[in-house]
Amino acid sequence: MNKLIVLTGLDGSGTSSVAESLHKLDAGSTLLDGINNSYSRCRENIDKATRTVSPIAHYLFYLSANIHTSSLIEEALKSGNVYCVRHLIDTVISHRVAGLNVDLVYETTLYKIRRPDLIVFLNVDEKVRQERLRKRGKSYLDRTLDDDSFREKFLREFAVFSKHFNTINVLAKSILQVAGEIKSLIETL
C-alpha cells in the first residue's frame, strides 16, 4: 500500500530538498507541497493581509489549502508514495503560535484531510538554517522567524505535537543521508 510521507520543520531546514531527493529515489512517487500552486500564488498576500488582522481567516485559508491538497494526495496515492512538504501539522502549529486554540483534526463532518503515514520533522542548527535562507532569499514568514522568541514559540508548539512525528537532526548530514534515514523509517511502516 502506498504511503503519505510529510516533511516538516522550520523554513530552511531542508524539507524541500530532502523531499525532492526521496521523490527521485522512489520511482512512481509524487512530490507535493502542502500549499499547492493554486494557493501559493496568493499566499504571501494572504499572510501579509490577514495573519495579524484576522488569524481565523488566515487559518481557514490554510485549512482550505490542506483540504484541497488532500484530494490531490488521494489521487496520487493510487500510483505510488506521496512526499509532501508541509501539511496540516504546519497549519495547526503556525496558528497556535498566532494564538488560536486549534488542534490536529484530520476529519470532521465538514471535511476530511488525508492522515500522513509518517511525519518527519527536520531539525537544523539555527546558523545553518539562516545561511540556507540567505542563499535562497527570505519569504515573509522566514523574516518573522528571525525573531528568537517567535521562533522559539514555533519550536515549543512542535514539541507539543512531537508524538505525531519522528525527528531527524540534519546537522552534518547530506541530503542523501537524511533521505536514507527516512527511507528506513518508511520500511518499518
| Alpha-carbon distances of 135 from 7, 15, 63, 107, rounded to whole Å | 21, 15, 30, 38
Give pLDDT, residue 65: 95
pTM of the model: 0.92
CATH class of 4-187: alpha beta
Q: Pairing between strand 118-123 and 82-85?
A: unpaired
pLDDT in tens, 42-95: 888 898 889 889 999 999 999 999 999 999 999 999 999 999 999 999 999 999
